[in-house]
Structure 1
Amino acid sequence: MTPSAREKILVLGEDSADLSNLVQSLELQFQVEVPRNFESGVQSLQTENFQAILVSGPQEALLKTFLEVDGLLDQLPDGLALLDSDLKILWSNERLLQLTSNTESLDGQNFYQVFGTPEILGPDYSPFNTALGQGVCARSQLRIGEKTYYEVQACPVLRSTETAPQLLLVVIRDVSTEVLHKQKLDAVYHAGVDLGDLSPQEVLEMTVQDRIDLLKSKILHYTEDLLEFETVEIRLVDKKTKTLESLLSVGMEEDAERRLLFAQPDGYGVTGFVASTGKSYLCEDTENDPLYLPGAPGAHSSLTVPLILHDEIIGTFNVESPQKGAFDETDLQFLELFSREVAIALNTLELLVAEKVTTVTESTERILKEVVGPVDGILNDAAWILERYIGHEPSVAERLQHILKHTREIKQMIQRVGESIAPQTTYNPMSYREEHPSLRGKRVLVVDSDSSVRGAAHELLGRYGCEVETAHHGDEALLMVRSFHYDVVIADIRLPDMTGYECFEKLLEIHPHLAVILMTGFGYDPSHSIVKARQRGLKSVLYKPFRLDQLLAELENAVSPPAKVNE
């Protein structure tokens, strides 16, 4: 088919004699338009209809022309470059100038040199050679300085007449944010491993306070160097009182450190809110935030996250900055991640200390268990001898009193040594006595022929600070009560030598106001001791096997002073 003379052809190319000759030959049959530049050609394509577009010139020039189409590639967020086989830049977009901090054209310069000879991190350590030699796209990562990372992808540009490429189209993307983010995540993980690196042997060799101080120093190190926060405050929730006790404070006002805070949503600032709700709080402007309470000097923004362990809020982690809006969601994410590791490390330390405490407590109780029987035997025998020497041999009686005093001190000294070795923690078994302070120091006499009952009385009541002594039968109990002072007597109703009622009656004859509790197994009372004793004023009865809380409740009622009646 012969083309119409009115058909239009758009001719693109660099101005040259060859282009002029081509245009002259085409004008014999077509209407030819040669724009003054590529942009004009694009405009013509938008307003006119062309039957064909003819591009003329060297391949490198043509590629450069296409890459510069209407300046669109300068708007891309990634850097672009066209390289020859010697890695010299033939063309680059505006973004590459920005990435390399250059203001003048990069044409003719070596690609690596414009980046200041960066470190090649892989995975392909020679991506340009791979692309040129194998004719495939290759990828690598470059590092410039400490915190700048670029991902480079090189793809070959193949000529139709050649099997080996001579040109590379390179895409350069700034991946610093992604790389640093991943590095920080990895660093937080390793920080958690370091924080939790607490061996039982270390805990045994160091005091608890020394170990806590070491953990605090590690937390501070990672807070400052890894998270790059200079001001930090960590508070822990007291489970009983809900107060927020300071564990670590750096850069805070002295008044802020001493401030009494509770885990409540209102009235106790951001820290109280976070500790009560378990929600992180980002304060962008302290001057206009109603929850914020002054903390660090000149602070204008703060970030507070909860310390959470097994869905339980155990404390708060707070950082502050003198700049408004200094923290963003990324800071929030990293502080939350780090706080999880801190919570786990604190729990690990607490458990290891608790293990040490438990070992000490078990050893103390084991020693006491072996000692209390012989000690009670000495007290029983001494009471029997003392009763017979009173009024006859004063010096012997005095010596016996000294023996009794020192014998009682044996148990007290063992208990005190155990308390001094075992640090006070939330897991400390010796903290039982703090739950029932009214029992601490109360002297209790337990009368029962069953050795297991006497042993259990020492073990259970001793935990709560009671000074427990025991008797095997009624006469022994009466001797003890005549010789020594007791706050409470707990007696079984079935004694080898008398009934519970008889024992109760004789005890009151010795001390009319002595508190007495009778025990019976499964409510069995063939002699009706409990009924008779109730008629004489007995107030407390325990039914074996009794629960510990019932025993403690009856004891507390027995040692508590009677309520005053309003006149």
Structure 2
Amino acid sequence: MLVIEREASHGKAVLDALGDTVELVSVRSISKALALLRDNRFEGVYVDASQLSAARWVGMIIQAEEILDAIADGVAVVDPDLRIIWANPEFVSFTSGPDSTVGTRFYQAFAESEILGPEPCPFTTAVATRSPSSTVLKIRNNRYLKVTVTPVFDARHVLTHLIALTREITDEAQQQLKVNAIAQAGDELADLTPEELSEMGAEERTDLLKYNIARHMKDLMGLDFMEIRLLDRGSGRLIPLLTEGMTPLAAGRELLAGKEGQGVTGLVAATGQSYLCPDTTKDPFYIEGAENARSSLTVPLVYHGNVIGTLNVESPHPDSFDDRDRQFLEIYGRNVASALNTLELLQAEKASTASASVQAISREVALPLDDVITDAVTVLDRYAGHDEDVIARLRHLLYRAREIRGIIQKVGSTIAPPPANRVATPPAARLAGARILVVDADEAIRRSAHHLLGIQGAVVETARDAREAVALARQESYSAALADIRLPDMDGYAIYKRLREVRPETPVILMTGFGYDPTHSIVKARQEGLQTVLYKPFRSDRLMEAVEQALHIQTNRAEADPPDLQPEPAPRPES
């Protein structure tokens, strides 16, 4: 006889009398009573009249078993000791078998189980919070279950049992794990240690990036045929960076970002939208990439909202890719774009540091070189018509002194060359190719002119007085000349006239401090054709405006004058 005594029984006398004729099995929990009824044979169940409501609840549970057996989710009733006292067939299918389910502790029912979280033990959390708690459980054969535990308390707030609802989420979990793996792989693409950064050049870092991309594609996505192209915004060209398994024709094919005639890759680059091609033989945009490819997937490489390239993968089988693959590839594509940008920034930082070093060296040697050049030119100017061997040596000295500046810039470019994967064309220097002569007794002005004009691509030479300036102008043609109106040996009007006599094609800019012009040099020079005046101390923007205005005047004058009126520059000896 099974006796259910959830509270103190009022029928003690009846139980004592029954105990003389039958074996009594007493329980205080409805859940334990259900478990005993399933596993043992009883002649009857005794319930005190005061517990009839509980008995009716047991009846409802038994009737509900048919419904619980039919639902798709696994359901288990667990006692406070975490032993399973009942489970539906779906739950049993997750465990090691029917014989090791009922009566077994919850986690022991699952072979090779591992709690993945977020809750380390949902049973403890559910009881403590008196509310449902969930976690993910990995079981055998790489299956994943979401387990949600709900506690049940009686009227006295005593825990009677727990309901464990289990649902298989293997597809969702594996997809999330793959997303996490791809994201982690992407984070590692440009993750270099300080030692690696110091030891590896731009080309080596790019090669490492390409190697990691190819490895991740094969290991994580099982892909052997892929292509990455970078977009040159200036020309719209899609420049190959990485090709694996593509035909030589496809790897060397010229493609542009465009919606027509540029294949799927050009379309994706132009629209910024991924393109899934389930059957290449029926797709109007597809152009052969991998030999005998039957399906392809192409995603844009996007960084900060801008398309910087494309990532294309192909398969010899039709319908090899779906929306899930597209999601994976788009995630990885964002990481590839970020890694490419990181490498570009690293190289730009290195180039910037090298450029700053080169500029510092150039500034330090600029004036000493000017002294060498002006001294050599002055001697050459005075020595004209004398010993030809001495003149040749002086010209060679001038040539080599001027060559030093170019050598410094050339060495700087070899310290940090532009990266091989650079696709953006840097803006041209505003004064590239211009030769500027600056005449001023103030060393600070000469040094500043070297810096401000030099960083814009101009070749700058300076003189301390009018005599040196005229000697330089006789030996070298300049795009423009800037001269102070208060030189030690001439005023502004005189130097303006002398420079125009020596080099009439060279525009002259007169400089004055705060508009001070006691000899009215500027007024007189304007009457002789002076176009531009620069006030010191000059700002970089005003200096650039003055020089560009002078160069514009020179260009217009050159176009108007006959070619035979243009002076020929002084010849340079062979080095």
Deviation string 1:35-72 (CA, Å, 9 cap, x unpaired) is xxxxxxxxxxxxxxxxxxxxxxxx99997875446xx9
How far did 1:368 drift? Answer: 0.9
State whether residues 285 and 324 of structure 1, in contact with CA within 8 Å, keep that contact through their aligned partners in structure 2: yes
Q: Is 1:143 equivalent to 2:138 in the alignment?
A: yes
| 2:205 aligned residue (208, 211, 220) | 211
Per the alignment, residue 435 of structure 1 pairs with: 428
- Which has the larger displacement, 401-410 or 374-383? 401-410
- Seen in structure 2, the aligned counterparts of structure 1 residues 164 and 426 have a Cα distance that, compared at 3 Å, is closer
Give the alignment of 1:39-438 within 5 angstroms.
67-68=65-66, 73-74=69-70, 76-79=71-74, 93=89, 108=99, 117-121=111-115, 141-144=136-139, 147-152=142-147, 171-199=165-193, 201-425=195-419, 435-436=428-429
How far did 1:518 drift? Answer: 1.9
How far did 1:175 drift? Answer: 1.1
- Matched position secondary structure for 1:236: strand
- Seen in structure 2, the aligned counterparts of structure 1 residues 122 and 418 have a Cα distance that, compared at 3 Å, is closer
Q: What code does the residue aligned with 1:439 have? A: A
State whether residues 303 and 327 of structure 1, in contact with CA within 8 Å, keep that contact through their aligned partners in structure 2: yes
Q: Is 1:555 equivalent to 2:551 in the alignment?
A: yes
How far did 1:91 drift? Answer: 7.9
State whether residues 501 and 532 of structure 1, in contact with CA within 8 Å, keep that contact through their aligned partners in structure 2: no
Deviation string 1:299-331 (CA, Å, 9 cap, x unpaired) is 333333322222333222222233333333332
Per the alignment, residue 4 of structure 1 pairs with: none
How far did 1:549 drift? Answer: 6.1
- Seen in structure 2, the aligned counterparts of structure 1 residues 408 and 207 have a Cα distance that, compared at 3 Å, is same
Q: Is 1:467 equivalent to 2:459 in the alignment?
A: yes
- Seen in structure 2, the aligned counterparts of structure 1 residues 61 and 252 have a Cα distance that, compared at 3 Å, is farther
State whether residues 439 and 484 of structure 2, in contact with CA within 8 Å, keep that contact through their aligned partners in structure 1: no
Per the alignment, residue 468 of structure 2 pairs with: 476
How far apart are the structure 2 equivalents of 1:371 and 1:127?
Answer: 74
Q: Is 1:506 equivalent to 2:501 in the alignment?
A: no
How far apart are the structure 2 equivalents of 1:145 and 1:281?
Answer: 37
How far did 1:366 drift? Answer: 0.7
How far did 1:476 drift? Answer: 1.4
State whether residues 89 and 109 of structure 1, in contact with CA within 8 Å, keep that contact through their aligned partners in structure 2: no
- Seen in structure 2, the aligned counterparts of structure 1 residues 145 and 406 have a Cα distance that, compared at 3 Å, is farther
Normalising by structure 1, what TM-score? 0.70
Per the alignment, residue 447 of structure 2 pairs with: 455
State whether residues 77 and 87 of structure 2, in contact with CA within 8 Å, keep that contact through their aligned partners in structure 1: yes
Q: Is 1:532 equivalent to 2:527 in the alignment?
A: yes
State whether residues 92 and 98 of structure 2, in contact with CA within 8 Å, keep that contact through their aligned partners in structure 1: no
- Matched position secondary structure for 1:226: helix
State whether residues 299 and 321 of structure 1, in contact with CA within 8 Å, keep that contact through their aligned partners in structure 2: yes
How far apart are the structure 1 equivalents of 2:199 and 2:319?
Answer: 45
How far apart are the structure 2 equivalents of 1:86 and 1:449?
Answer: 95
How far did 1:125 drift? Answer: 8.5
Per the alignment, residue 33 of structure 1 pairs with: none
How far apart are the structure 1 equivalents of 2:543 and 2:271?
Answer: 36
- Matched position secondary structure for 2:226: strand
Give the alignment of 1:9-20 within 5 angstroms.
none
How far apart are the structure 1 equivalents of 2:560 and 2:421?
Answer: 38
Q: How many residues align?
A: 485
How far apart are the structure 1 equivalents of 2:413 and 2:200?
Answer: 17
How far did 1:502 drift? Answer: 3.6
How far apart are the structure 2 equivalents of 1:342 and 1:468?
Answer: 43
How far did 1:220 drift? Answer: 2.5
How far did 1:375 drift? Answer: 0.8
State whether residues 234 and 249 of structure 1, in contact with CA within 8 Å, keep that contact through their aligned partners in structure 2: yes
- Seen in structure 2, the aligned counterparts of structure 1 residues 116 and 170 have a Cα distance that, compared at 3 Å, is closer
- Matched position secondary structure for 2:256: coil
Q: What code does the residue aligned with 1:551 have? A: V
Deviation string 1:326-375 (CA, Å, 9 cap, x unpaired) is 33333232322222222222222222222211111111111110101011
- Seen in structure 2, the aligned counterparts of structure 1 residues 447 and 201 have a Cα distance that, compared at 3 Å, is farther
How far apart are the structure 2 equivalents of 1:446 and 1:498?
Answer: 15
How far did 1:207 drift? Answer: 1.0
State whether residues 122 and 139 of structure 1, in contact with CA within 8 Å, keep that contact through their aligned partners in structure 2: no
Q: Is 1:485 equivalent to 2:476 in the alignment?
A: yes
How far apart are the structure 1 equivalents of 2:86 and 2:201?
Answer: 69
State whether residues 347 and 418 of structure 2, in contact with CA within 8 Å, keep that contact through their aligned partners in structure 1: no
How far apart are the structure 1 equivalents of 2:471 and 2:314?
Answer: 69
Q: Percent identity?
A: 36
Per the alignment, residue 518 of structure 1 pairs with: 509
- Matched position secondary structure for 1:117: coil
State whether residues 493 and 520 of structure 1, in contact with CA within 8 Å, keep that contact through their aligned partners in structure 2: yes
Deviation string 1:455-479 (CA, Å, 9 cap, x unpaired) is 2332244345443211123221111
- Matched position secondary structure for 2:289: coil
How far apart are the structure 2 equivalents of 1:145 and 1:364?
Answer: 64
Q: What code does the residue aligned with 1:205 have? A: E
How far apart are the structure 1 equivalents of 2:153 and 2:295?
Answer: 56
- Seen in structure 2, the aligned counterparts of structure 1 residues 91 and 232 have a Cα distance that, compared at 3 Å, is same
Q: Is 1:445 equivalent to 2:441 in the alignment?
A: no
How far apart are the structure 1 equivalents of 2:545 and 2:316?
Answer: 54
How far apart are the structure 1 equivalents of 2:319 and 2:560?
Answer: 61
How far did 1:400 drift? Answer: 1.9
- Matched position secondary structure for 2:257: coil
Deviation string 1:184-224 (CA, Å, 9 cap, x unpaired) is 33323433432242355533321111111112222332233
State whether residues 431 and 457 of structure 2, in contact with CA within 8 Å, keep that contact through their aligned partners in structure 1: no
- Seen in structure 2, the aligned counterparts of structure 1 residues 145 and 324 have a Cα distance that, compared at 3 Å, is farther
How far apart are the structure 1 equivalents of 2:555 and 2:429?
Answer: 12
Q: What code does the residue aligned with 1:143 have? A: K
State whether residues 136 and 156 of structure 1, in contact with CA within 8 Å, keep that contact through their aligned partners in structure 2: yes
Deviation string 1:359-410 (CA, Å, 9 cap, x unpaired) is 1111111111010101111111111111222222333223322322222222
How far apart are the structure 2 equivalents of 1:136 and 1:354?
Answer: 56
- Which has the larger displacement, 237-246 or 109-118? 109-118
Q: What code does the residue aligned with 2:551 have? A: L
- Matched position secondary structure for 1:259: coil
Structure 2 runs not aligned, ≥5 long: 1-56, 562-575
RMSD: 4.6
- Matched position secondary structure for 1:279: coil
How far apart are the structure 1 equivalents of 2:177 and 2:224?
Answer: 20
- Seen in structure 2, the aligned counterparts of structure 1 residues 448 and 279 have a Cα distance that, compared at 3 Å, is farther
How far apart are the structure 2 equivalents of 1:322 and 1:354?
Answer: 40
How far apart are the structure 2 equivalents of 1:272 and 1:333?
Answer: 20
How far did 1:559 drift? Answer: 6.2
Q: What code does the residue aligned with 1:480 have? A: L
How far did 1:245 drift? Answer: 1.9
- Seen in structure 2, the aligned counterparts of structure 1 residues 279 and 500 have a Cα distance that, compared at 3 Å, is farther
